[in-house]
Protein backbone atom coordinates (compact mmCIF):
# COMPACT_ATOMS: atom_id res chain seq x y z
CA UNK A 1 0.00 0.00 0.00
CA UNK A 2 1.03 3.61 -0.48
CA UNK A 3 1.24 6.18 2.32
CA UNK A 4 -2.35 7.21 3.13
CA UNK A 5 -1.74 9.18 6.30
CA UNK A 6 0.94 10.11 8.84
CA UNK A 7 3.68 7.53 9.28
CA UNK A 8 3.29 5.01 12.07
CA UNK A 9 7.03 4.90 12.76
CA UNK A 10 9.19 7.69 14.25
CA UNK A 11 10.65 9.34 11.13
CA UNK A 12 12.67 12.51 11.28
CA UNK A 13 10.39 15.56 11.33
CA UNK A 14 11.90 16.76 8.04
CA UNK A 15 10.52 13.73 6.20
CA UNK A 16 7.21 15.44 5.57
CA UNK A 17 6.04 13.09 2.82
CA UNK A 18 5.91 10.41 5.52
CA UNK A 19 4.90 12.34 8.63
CA UNK A 20 2.52 14.90 7.08
CA UNK A 21 1.84 13.80 3.49
CA UNK A 22 -1.00 16.32 3.03
CA UNK A 23 0.95 19.32 4.31
CA UNK A 24 2.09 22.30 2.25
CA UNK A 25 5.71 21.24 2.74
CA UNK A 26 4.99 17.75 1.40
CA UNK A 27 3.25 19.24 -1.62
CA UNK A 28 6.55 20.80 -2.67
CA UNK A 29 8.02 17.32 -2.97
CA UNK A 30 4.97 16.28 -4.96
CA UNK A 31 6.08 18.93 -7.45
CA UNK A 32 9.46 17.21 -7.58
CA UNK A 33 7.67 13.89 -8.13
CA UNK A 34 5.68 15.51 -10.95
CA UNK A 35 8.88 16.57 -12.70
CA UNK A 36 10.33 13.07 -12.37
CA UNK A 37 7.16 11.46 -13.72
CA UNK A 38 7.03 13.91 -16.62
CA UNK A 39 10.61 13.09 -17.61
CA UNK A 40 10.11 9.34 -17.17
CA UNK A 41 7.23 9.46 -19.64
CA UNK A 42 9.53 10.65 -22.43
CA UNK A 43 12.89 9.07 -21.59
CA UNK A 44 14.50 6.28 -19.61
CA UNK A 45 14.29 7.56 -16.05
CA UNK A 46 13.95 4.86 -13.46
CA UNK A 47 17.14 5.03 -11.41
CA UNK A 48 17.83 8.45 -9.88
CA UNK A 49 20.94 9.34 -7.89
CA UNK A 50 20.56 12.18 -5.39
CA UNK A 51 23.70 14.04 -4.42
CA UNK A 52 25.05 17.45 -3.42
CA UNK A 53 28.21 19.45 -3.80
CA UNK A 54 29.20 19.27 -0.14
CA UNK A 55 28.04 17.80 3.17
CA UNK A 56 24.93 19.25 4.81
CA UNK A 57 22.91 20.38 1.80
CA UNK A 58 19.98 18.05 2.54
CA UNK A 59 20.49 15.32 -0.06
CA UNK A 60 19.33 12.45 2.18
CA UNK A 61 16.15 14.28 3.20
CA UNK A 62 15.50 15.10 -0.46
CA UNK A 63 16.02 11.49 -1.54
CA UNK A 64 13.67 10.15 1.13
CA UNK A 65 11.01 12.83 0.62
CA UNK A 66 11.08 12.12 -3.12
CA UNK A 67 10.68 8.40 -2.44
CA UNK A 68 7.81 9.12 -0.06
CA UNK A 69 6.10 11.22 -2.73
CA UNK A 70 6.59 8.56 -5.41
CA UNK A 71 4.91 5.84 -3.34
CA UNK A 72 1.80 7.97 -2.94
CA UNK A 73 0.69 6.31 -6.16
CA UNK A 74 -0.91 2.97 -5.37
CA UNK A 75 0.87 -0.22 -6.42
CA UNK A 76 4.11 1.63 -7.20
CA UNK A 77 7.18 -0.02 -5.71
CA UNK A 78 10.14 2.18 -4.87
CA UNK A 79 13.57 1.21 -3.57
CA UNK A 80 15.91 3.58 -1.76
CA UNK A 81 19.56 2.56 -1.79
CA UNK A 82 21.82 4.12 0.83
CA UNK A 83 25.02 4.22 -1.21
CA UNK A 84 26.89 6.50 1.17
CA UNK A 85 29.28 3.83 2.38
CA UNK A 86 31.18 6.32 4.53
CA UNK A 87 28.32 8.01 6.41
CA UNK A 88 25.10 6.02 5.89
CA UNK A 89 22.06 7.77 7.35
CA UNK A 90 18.89 6.61 5.58
CA UNK A 91 17.71 4.15 8.24
CA UNK A 92 18.26 6.53 11.20
CA UNK A 93 16.38 9.28 9.32
CA UNK A 94 13.46 6.88 8.98
CA UNK A 95 13.59 6.18 12.70
CA UNK A 96 14.58 2.56 12.12
CA UNK A 97 17.50 0.57 13.44
CA UNK A 98 20.35 0.18 10.98
CA UNK A 99 21.16 -3.50 10.38
CA UNK A 100 24.67 -4.86 10.62
CA UNK A 101 24.63 -5.83 6.96
CA UNK A 102 23.59 -3.79 3.96
CA UNK A 103 24.88 -2.63 0.60
CA UNK A 104 28.56 -3.26 1.25
CA UNK A 105 27.84 -6.80 2.45
CA UNK A 106 25.62 -7.45 -0.57
CA UNK A 107 28.39 -6.30 -2.91
CA UNK A 108 30.93 -8.61 -1.28
CA UNK A 109 28.63 -11.62 -1.23
CA UNK A 110 29.60 -14.38 -3.65
CA UNK A 111 26.08 -15.66 -4.20
CA UNK A 112 22.43 -14.84 -3.62
CA UNK A 113 20.28 -11.83 -4.44
CA UNK A 114 20.73 -8.42 -2.86
CA UNK A 115 17.04 -8.66 -1.91
CA UNK A 116 18.05 -10.57 1.19
CA UNK A 117 19.39 -7.28 2.57
CA UNK A 118 16.41 -5.11 1.57
CA UNK A 119 14.18 -3.86 4.39
CA UNK A 120 10.48 -3.09 3.70
CA UNK A 121 9.14 0.09 5.31
CA UNK A 122 5.99 -0.65 7.34
CA UNK A 123 2.74 0.65 5.91
CA UNK A 124 4.23 1.61 2.54
CA UNK A 125 5.32 0.14 -0.78
CA UNK A 126 8.78 1.52 -0.09
CA UNK A 127 11.85 -0.60 0.61
CA UNK A 128 15.38 0.33 1.62
CA UNK A 129 18.71 -1.28 0.92
CA UNK A 130 20.56 0.08 3.96
CA UNK A 131 24.06 1.43 3.87
CA UNK A 132 26.91 0.46 6.13
CA UNK A 133 30.39 1.80 6.62
CA UNK A 134 32.45 -0.18 4.15
CA UNK A 135 35.65 -1.82 5.26
CA UNK A 136 36.67 -2.49 1.68
CA UNK A 137 37.50 0.22 -0.85
CA UNK A 138 34.35 2.05 -1.93
CA UNK A 139 35.89 2.52 -5.38
CA UNK A 140 36.27 -1.22 -5.82
CA UNK A 141 32.77 -1.92 -4.53
CA UNK A 142 30.98 0.65 -6.69
CA UNK A 143 32.86 -0.26 -9.87
CA UNK A 144 32.45 -4.01 -9.36
CA UNK A 145 30.41 -6.29 -11.65
CA UNK A 146 28.37 -7.16 -8.55
CA UNK A 147 27.10 -3.60 -8.26
CA UNK A 148 26.11 -3.60 -11.93
CA UNK A 149 24.22 -6.87 -11.36
CA UNK A 150 22.51 -5.43 -8.30
CA UNK A 151 21.33 -2.38 -10.23
CA UNK A 152 20.03 -4.53 -13.07
CA UNK A 153 18.01 -6.61 -10.63
CA UNK A 154 16.69 -3.50 -8.89
CA UNK A 155 15.50 -2.06 -12.23
CA UNK A 156 13.59 -5.24 -12.93
CA UNK A 157 11.84 -5.41 -9.55
CA UNK A 158 11.04 -1.78 -8.72
CA UNK A 159 9.23 1.04 -10.51
CA UNK A 160 11.74 3.63 -9.27
CA UNK A 161 15.11 3.36 -7.57
CA UNK A 162 16.36 6.39 -5.60
CA UNK A 163 20.02 6.30 -4.59
CA UNK A 164 21.35 8.48 -1.78
CA UNK A 165 24.99 9.08 -2.73
CA UNK A 166 27.88 10.89 -1.02
CA UNK A 167 28.58 14.56 -1.82
CA UNK A 168 30.39 15.02 -5.12
CA UNK A 169 33.34 17.22 -4.18
CA UNK A 170 34.78 15.49 -1.09
CA UNK A 171 34.80 12.02 -2.69
CA UNK A 172 34.38 10.39 -6.12
CA UNK A 173 31.74 7.77 -5.20
CA UNK A 174 28.70 9.46 -6.76
CA UNK A 175 30.36 9.86 -10.16
CA UNK A 176 31.30 6.17 -10.22
CA UNK A 177 27.61 5.33 -10.77
CA UNK A 178 27.23 7.39 -13.93
CA UNK A 179 26.76 4.43 -16.27
CA UNK A 180 24.28 2.70 -13.95
CA UNK A 181 21.88 5.57 -13.20
CA UNK A 182 19.54 7.46 -15.50
CA UNK A 183 20.33 10.86 -14.04
CA UNK A 184 21.36 12.90 -11.02
CA UNK A 185 19.46 15.33 -8.83
CA UNK A 186 21.86 17.89 -7.39
CA UNK A 187 20.66 19.34 -4.08
CA UNK A 188 21.81 22.89 -3.30
CA UNK A 189 21.39 24.62 0.05
CA UNK A 190 20.11 28.15 -0.53
CA UNK A 191 21.88 29.64 2.44
CA UNK A 192 25.24 27.92 2.41
CA UNK A 193 26.36 26.34 -0.88
CA UNK A 194 28.69 28.72 -2.76
CA UNK A 195 27.93 29.09 -6.46
CA UNK A 196 31.50 28.11 -7.33
CA UNK A 197 31.12 24.76 -5.58
CA UNK A 198 27.85 24.09 -7.40
CA UNK A 199 29.67 24.69 -10.68
CA UNK A 200 32.49 22.38 -9.69
CA UNK A 201 30.02 19.66 -8.72
CA UNK A 202 28.20 19.94 -12.06
CA UNK A 203 31.48 19.68 -13.91
CA UNK A 204 32.47 16.63 -11.88
CA UNK A 205 29.21 14.89 -12.75
CA UNK A 206 29.03 16.01 -16.38
CA UNK A 207 26.20 18.57 -16.70
CA UNK A 208 24.40 16.40 -19.27
CA UNK A 209 23.78 13.73 -16.60
CA UNK A 210 22.08 16.16 -14.20
CA UNK A 211 18.31 16.00 -14.63
CA UNK A 212 17.46 18.57 -11.99
CA UNK A 213 18.65 21.08 -9.42
CA UNK A 214 16.78 21.04 -6.12
CA UNK A 215 17.16 24.37 -4.38
CA UNK A 216 16.73 23.68 -0.67
CA UNK A 217 16.14 25.79 2.47
CA UNK A 218 15.02 29.04 0.90
CA UNK A 219 12.11 31.11 2.14
CA UNK A 220 11.75 33.57 -0.74
CA UNK A 221 8.42 33.69 -2.63
CA UNK A 222 7.93 31.21 -5.45
CA UNK A 223 6.36 33.61 -7.93
CA UNK A 224 8.85 35.18 -10.30
CA UNK A 225 11.63 33.23 -8.64
CA UNK A 226 12.63 30.84 -11.41
CA UNK A 227 13.52 33.15 -14.26
CA UNK A 228 15.38 35.63 -12.12
CA UNK A 229 17.28 34.00 -9.29
CA UNK A 230 17.66 30.48 -10.68
CA UNK A 231 18.88 31.66 -14.04
CA UNK A 232 21.33 34.02 -12.39
CA UNK A 233 22.56 31.37 -9.96
CA UNK A 234 23.02 28.63 -12.55
CA UNK A 235 23.36 30.69 -15.74
CA UNK A 236 26.55 28.91 -16.81
CA UNK A 237 24.82 25.54 -16.62
CA UNK A 238 21.09 26.02 -17.27
CA UNK A 239 20.03 28.09 -20.30
CA UNK A 240 16.45 28.58 -19.13
CA UNK A 241 13.76 26.92 -17.06
CA UNK A 242 12.54 25.00 -20.11
CA UNK A 243 15.94 23.84 -21.35
CA UNK A 244 18.38 21.40 -19.81
CA UNK A 245 17.91 20.26 -16.20
CA UNK A 246 14.91 21.60 -14.34
CA UNK A 247 15.35 23.84 -11.32
CA UNK A 248 12.96 23.34 -8.41
CA UNK A 249 12.67 24.97 -5.03
CA UNK A 250 11.71 22.92 -1.96
CA UNK A 251 11.64 24.24 1.59
CA UNK A 252 11.15 22.27 4.78
CA UNK A 253 12.02 24.12 7.95
pLDDT of residue 224: 44
pLDDT of residue 227: 44
Question: Which residue(s) pair with 187 in the sheet?
Answer: 52, 214
Give me the residue spans of the domains in the chain: 16-250
Tens digit of pLDDT per residue, the chain (253 long)?
Answer: 345 555 555 667 778 888 888 888 888 899 999 999 999 988 889 999 999 999 888 899 999 999 999 999 988 999 999 999 999 999 999 988 888 889 999 999 887 789 899 999 988 899 999 999 988 899 999 999 999 999 999 999 999 999 999 999 998 999 999 999 999 999 998 777 888 898 899 889 887 889 988 887 655 544 444 444 444 444 444 433 334 556 666 654 3
pTM above threshold 0.95: no
pLDDT of residue 253: 39
* Alpha carbon distance 247, 253 (integer Å): 20
Q: Superfamily for 16-250?
A: P-loop containing nucleotide triphosphate hydrolases (3.40.50.300)
> What is the arrangement of strands in the sheet containing 126-129, beginning at the earlier edge strand?
119-120, 126-129, 78-82, 160-164, 47-52, 183-189, 210-216, 246-250
Count the alpha carbons within 13 Å of 93 in the hemisphere toward its beta carbon: 24
Which SS3 state, helix, strand or coil, does residue 115 take? helix
Q: For residues 237 and 199, is the Cβ–Cβ distance under 8 A?
A: yes
pLDDT of residue 162: 98
- Which phi and psi (to 5°) does residue 215 adopt? -95, 110
pLDDT of residue 215: 84
Q: For residues 174 and 198, is the Cβ–Cβ distance under 8 A?
A: no
pLDDT of residue 22: 84
H helices within the chain, ranges in order? 16-19, 24-40, 59-70, 90-93, 103-108, 138-142, 145-157, 195-205, 225, 231-233
pLDDT of residue 248: 67
* Alpha carbon distance 80, 68 (integer Å): 10
Amino acid sequence: MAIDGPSQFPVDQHLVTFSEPRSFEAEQYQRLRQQIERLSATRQLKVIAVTSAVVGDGKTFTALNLAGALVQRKDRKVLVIDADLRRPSVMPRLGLDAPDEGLATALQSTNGSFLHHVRPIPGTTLAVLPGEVAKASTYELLTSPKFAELMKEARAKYDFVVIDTPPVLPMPDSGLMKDLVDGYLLVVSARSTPRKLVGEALNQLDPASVIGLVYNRDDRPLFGFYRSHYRQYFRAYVKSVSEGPFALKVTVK
